[in-house]
Amino acid sequence: MTQDSRRTDHGPTIYEVAERAGVSIATVSRTLRGTGPVAPETRRRVLEAAEALRFTPSRAGVSLAEGRHAATGIVFPDLSGPYYAEVLMGCEEVASELGRSMIVLSTRGRSEVPRLVRDLAGRVDGLVVFGGTVPDDLLAELAGGGHPLVLIASAPLPGADLVAAENHDSAVRLAEHLVGHGHRTFTLLGAGDGSDIAQRWRGVTGVLERLGLPAGAPVPCAFTVEGGYAAGRELLARTGRPDAVVCADDQIALGVLLAAEELGLSVPADVAVTGWDDIMAARHARPALTTVRQPMRELGARAARALDELIGGERTGSRHQTLPTELVVRASCGTHPLEEA
């Protein structure tokens, strides 16, 4: 075939450097990676040859010889919205400091996820995986196969680390704040498959039940602006409209805001709306969205560090980390006589 006859990166090899410097490849390797003793003059010649040839060790060769990839993989549902991108940033930054490359894989709308994940696992030293992206049995298989695994925002898995933002308690604070505004009938928007969403709802309904207020089941809704808009139109148009719509994330809440505006409803006078995540748009929406801020960047950074520990063998058992969240009170949950900015 004429197709595939050319190969990637026909750069110089260690042999060419060795020849040019008049030494063996062993000496080149030792010199360049600083392992073992090298005479100053020899060292100079090797460095010069490597420089002249612009030698870069073949990654495949190094990986094969070292038995490691110096890379970590990360699996998300998708990268839309600020949440995942922020986590990725945190992760990539730390990984880079630790000398590892980051390979990304998004699974949403993709067939053959298991094949893709297996392939990914084969080219990294460990995996960061968002909850809900990879079937549990595959995860178990990977963990069992000795692949270091860190889960983010996921249900726990034996043998894998877990990094998550605190959900329950901040949901309690949010609910109490809303009750404090006088809201009495609540709708929970966004039925979550993920355990993190479930924890939030447990926190909210706990408060309501304690106060003897009605707490209906979460209403299913796509986790997008469009999803929130559609659900909002449906919800706010009917009689018996709730005092407060507590949304599973900010995007849903933004959609509800749109729906309310279109229906001529005033937020928060007619209905309060809250989100979760504190994405950029939450701050700029009018009314600005009351929400719960997750330390997204930090989530990623912690995951990268935890993975490094696992890979380095510094730690054997798995560990669960829960990061604190922050209730961000803005205008959409009710009037705030004092803290109005």
Q: What angle do CA 244, 198, 336 make, to 5 degrees?
A: 30
- Residues 6+ positions from 80 with CB-CB distance below 8 Å: none
Residues that bind its own copies (CB under 8 A): 3-4, 6-11, 54, 56-61, 63-64, 66-69, 71, 78-82, 84-86, 88-89, 92-93, 96, 101-106, 110, 116, 118-123, 125-126, 141, 145-147, 225, 251, 254, 257-258, 279-281, 283-286, 311-313
Question: Which amino acid is located at 250 in the chain?
Answer: D
What's the min distance (Å) between Cβ of 189 and DNA? 48
| Of 258, 249, 131, 243, residue with least CA distance to 190 | 249
User: Distance between CA atoms of 41 and 47, rounded to whole angstroms?
Assistant: 10
| Residue selected from 62, 140, 230, 323 as contacting DNA according to rule CB under 7 A | 62
What's the min distance (Å) between Cβ of 105 and its own copies? 7
Partner whose footprint covers residue 25, from its own copies, DNA, none (CB < 5 to 8 Å by kind): DNA
- Residues 6+ positions from 111 with CB-CB distance below 8 Å: none
What's the min distance (Å) between Cβ of 217 and DNA? 49
212 binds DNA (CB under 7 A): no
What secondary structure does DSSP assign to 289-321, as a single string? PBEEE--HHHHHHHHHHHHHHHHHTS--S--EE
Question: Which amino acid is located at 275 in the chain?
Answer: G
User: Distance between CA atoms of 174 and 275, rounded to whole angstroms?
Assistant: 10
| Residue selected from 48, 51, 61, 108 as contacting DNA according to rule CB under 7 A | 61
What's the min distance (Å) between Cβ of 293 and DNA? 44
Q: What angle do CA 188, 189, 191 make, to 5 degrees?
A: 95
Partner whose footprint covers residue 238, from DNA, its own copies, none (CB < 5 to 8 Å by kind): none
What's the min distance (Å) between Cβ of 224 and its own copies? 10
Instruction: Select 41 or 137, whichever has its Cβ closest to its own copies.
Output: 137
| Residue selected from 48, 51, 52, 56 as contacting DNA according to rule CB under 7 A | 56
User: Distance between CA atoms of 331 and 105, rounded to whole angstroms?
Assistant: 37
Instruction: Select 57 or 114, whichever has its Cβ closest to DNA.
Output: 57
Residues that bind DNA (CB under 7 A): 10-11, 13-15, 22-27, 29-30, 32-33, 35-39, 41-43, 55-58, 60-62, 64-67
